[in-house]
Chains A and B, each alone.
Chain A
């Protein structure tokens, strides 16, 4: 291959930029540690989206012995947009099941909140995705986090270089935040799991649609800063039908028939990555998150239900994230 001066210069600059970014990311930049000695994850089997999910979910939640009496629980599903036929959102029946379960567990209030990053008309997404009807039947309040009252909040990690973010009061005042991602690939961040899902708490009313500042400051860095500042107390990940390929909007459905519960977002995401056939340690926000937000190592995660079983065929990825796929003897459960 002939290497001209222009190509060489561009490649060198790219290499230098990449090396310095990696070096910067590896420097600890957090003022909080939520890491506990061990984390718990439960992988539950669910064959389809049905009203039976409540029983499946409740039996899984009982394994965690959560004390929610008197607490306000905020469920944060992943609602991006509505595209007929595309499995891009956390399924409304799973969210409805979670509302019922947390009420049964004694929560004082259960709210559902989300700030879609692409579609400005949140009510349209709720209506067309079937959420509005489920929420109406359950009489559960929904908070559009894009348009909530905002509070300037100092960031507890500074990987982006930002010192603060305006965040919704509803999120900051919740006692127990449950991230409920759809398990998906993502063409900018590799995956969108419980940590990336927290982008939805960053308000569009301040940061716009999409929340472009988070992309400019670095997606991986922004995930770390947001998750350091807004604690995720629990994860319920929708992998009954996941998404592979060109996510988060245009990927292909990939049924895994599983729901992943965890008391630690890093452990949840590392487990989901393994279930997708991906190397969790190659996903930057999981690897760095494991320094202070939770546990990614298999040795520090107690699988309280099923064990992780990686798929024979790892999830399809866009070319930039092809390196995340684990094949052959390097299978994550091996």
Chain B
């Protein structure tokens, strides 16, 4: 068995080594363009002892916030906002960043919505475009403006809004949380689990994906137990048995751990397949580090729920 603490130390060191001068992280360690998703995940993964690196990451993220309160997808991106805004807000909330930044982000999240919520597109999806089974009344968040809701940005947004309930826009926040949760249940794959957001297309059942399923389950942590959640856990646990890809396996561990399901065997497998020095993708390295932290009883998603 590998020493998990040592491996996690290597993951953290790998992240520190790859932090860019602007405080962000790129996806690929061969590039120098800071991206929002690896940066937010790295901020969640860095231990509190990494003060300098965490502060640089926080400064980078605060600097990157768009005027409308959202976050872009990467350094240099357009200012319209991306589906990663919820993830950044969650990461900053974990670091106790509050005030104007948080309020503007929450406002943007409450106003951003998938285009299927617009009456014209609702009409289109109800009359002529019916090959994908979904209810346009149940909408979440898109990856980028002027597109429909998808599972991952919706899960990220729910994680942020559920943690930010004590705001002046409480009613609206609650409404968006409800709509978002409804959307996730509506887009579930027929036997449980989620993929990008299409459960049934042209009458065919599409398969779920482990990473999307795990992320959705994390966003549903505070929801009452129900058949959707049970079926999705069953699918995820079964899928995990044959999963050897670090990104999907790490997300699976985070979800199972948050719901207090056993993860020791999966963490052991993750430790046997990952050599942090050879993980080129910084987002993957950060999620792997977060998964290793579960072995020591630390899971930022569970903590967010408990607080």
In the complex, B67 has a CB within 8 A of chain A: no
Asked if A149 and B32 sit within 8 Å, CB to CB, the answer is yes
Contact B202 A213 (CB under 8 A): no
Count A-B pairs with CB separation below 8 Å.
Answer: 108
Task: Verify if A87 is at the interface (C-beta below 8 Å from B).
Answer: no
Interface residues of A in 185-226 (CB under 8 A from B): 187, 205-210, 212-213, 216
Question: Distance in Å from the Cβ of B193 to the closest Cβ of chain A?
Answer: 13
0 or 1 for each of B72-89: is its CB under 8 Å from A? (1 = yes): 011011000011000000
Determine if B83 and A120 form an interchain contact, defined as CB atoms under 8 angstroms apart. Answer: no
| Complex Cα spacing A167 to B144, Å | 16
Interface residues of B in 225-246 (CB under 8 A from A): 243-246
Let me know if B112 is at the binding interface, CB within 8 A.
no
> Would you call B169 an interface residue if the criterion is a C-beta within 8 Å of the partner chain's C-beta atoms?
no
Q: Mark A117-159, 1 if CB is under 8 A from B, else 0.
A: 0111101100110000000000000011001111010000000
CB of B33 within 8 Å of the partner chain: yes
Q: How far is the CB of B67 from chain A (nearest CB, A)?
A: 19
Q: Are B28 and A149 in contact (CB under 8 A)?
A: yes
Complex Cα–Cα for A150 and B152 (A): 21
Contact of B144 among A120, A124, A143, A208 (CB under 8 A): A208
Contact A10 B127 (CB under 8 A): yes
Q: Does B90 contact A (CB under 8 A)?
A: no
With A and B bound together, what is the CA distance between A205 and B77 in angstroms? 11
Please tell me if the beta carbons of A147 and B196 are within 8 angstroms of each other in the complex: no
Whether the Cβ atoms of A147 and B27 lie closer than 8 Å is yes
B204 partner, pick from A10, A124, A149, A250, beta carbons under 8 A: A250
Residues of B within 8 A of A250 (CB): 201-202, 204, 206
Residue numbers in A under 8 Å from B148 (CB-CB): 212
Residues of chain B within 8 A of A187, CB atoms compared: 131, 201-202
Residue from A118, A127, A205, A216 with most neighbouring chain B CB atoms (10 Å):
A205
Chain B 23-35 per-residue mask, 1 if CB under 8 angstroms from chain A, else 0 = 0001110011101
A212 vs B121: C-alpha distance when bound (angstroms): 14
Chain B residues with Cβ under 8 A from A120's Cβ? 152, 196, 209, 211-212, 247
A contact patch SS: mixed
**B153-A208 in contact (CB<8A):** yes
Does any Cβ of A come within 8 Å of B295's Cβ? no
Q: Most chain-B CB neighbours within 10 Å: which of A150, A187, A212?
A: A212
Contact with A along B238-272 (1 / 0, CB 8 A): 00000111111000000000000000000000000
Tell me if B147 and A209 are in contact (CB < 8 A).
no
Chain A residue nearest to B131 in the complex (CB): A187
Interface residues of B, CB < 8 Å — how many? 48
Q: Which of A121, A143, A206 contacts B73 (CB 8 A)?
A: A206
Please name all residues of chain B whose beta carbon is closer than 8 Å to the beta carbon of A318 when the two chains form the complex: 202
Instruction: Please tell me if the beta carbons of A212 and B150 are within 8 angstroms of each other in the complex.
Output: yes
Minimum Cβ distance to chain A for residue B276 (Å): 15
Check: B285 CB closer than 8 A to any chain A CB: no
Within 8 A of A (CB), among B12-42: 26-28, 31-33, 35, 37
Give Cα A83 to B206, complex, Å. 10
Q: Give the docked Cα–Cα distance between A23 and B245 (Å).
A: 47
Q: Which residues of the partner chain B approach A128 to less than 8 Å between Cβ atoms?
A: 245
B31 → chain A, closest Cβ, in Å? 4
- Measured in the bound complex, the distance between the Cα atoms of B284 and A178 in whole Å is 28
Q: Is the CB of A208 within 8 A of B281?
A: no
Residues A13-27 near B (CB distance < 8 A): 14
B180 at interface by CB-CB < 8 Å: no
A124 and B127 contact, CB distance less than 8 A: no
Within 8 A of A (CB), among B108-146: 115, 127-128, 131, 142-144, 146
B84 CB to closest chain A CB, in angstroms? 9
A64 CB within 8 Å of chain B? no
Asked if B143 and A212 make an inter-chain contact with CB atoms under 8 angstroms apart, the answer reads yes
A278 to B210, CA, bound (A): 37
Given the complex, which residues of B lie within 8 Å of A205, measured CB to CB? 27, 35, 37, 73-74
Asked if A166 CB lies within 8 Å of chain B CBs, one says yes
A281 part of interface (Cβ distance < 8 Å): no
Give every chain A residue within 8 A of B150 (Cβ-Cβ).
208-210, 212
B289: chain A residues within 8 A (beta carbon) = none
Q: Most chain-A Cβ atoms within 10 A of its Cβ — which of B83, B144, B202, B206? A: B202
**A119 vs B115: C-alpha distance when bound (angstroms):** 22
Measured in the bound complex, the distance between the Cα atoms of B33 and A148 in whole Å is 9
Q: How far apart are the CA atoms of A169 and B128 in the complex, in Å?
A: 39
| Residues of chain B lying within 8 A (CB to CB) of residue A10 | 127-128
Cβ contact within 8 Å between A14 and B128: yes
Enumerate chain B interface residues (CB-CB to A < 8 A). 26-28, 31-33, 35, 37, 73-74, 76-77, 82-83, 115, 127-128, 131, 142-144, 146-148, 150, 152-153, 195-196, 201-204, 206-207, 209-212, 243-248, 281, 283-284
Q: What are the 8 A-B residue pairs with the smallest beta carbon separation, nearest first?
A: A208-B143, A124-B245, A147-B27, A149-B31, A212-B147, A250-B204, A149-B33, A121-B247
Enumerate 12 A-B pairs (CB-CB under 8 Å) in ascending A order: A10-B127, A83-B207, A121-B209, A121-B247, A123-B246, A124-B210, A127-B245, A205-B35, A206-B144, A208-B150, A213-B147, A216-B147
In the complex, given contacts A10-B127, A148-B28, A150-B74, what are 10 additional A-B residue pairs having Cβ atoms less than 8 angstroms apart? Answer: A120-B196, A124-B210, A148-B27, A205-B35, A206-B82, A208-B143, A208-B150, A209-B143, A212-B142, A216-B115
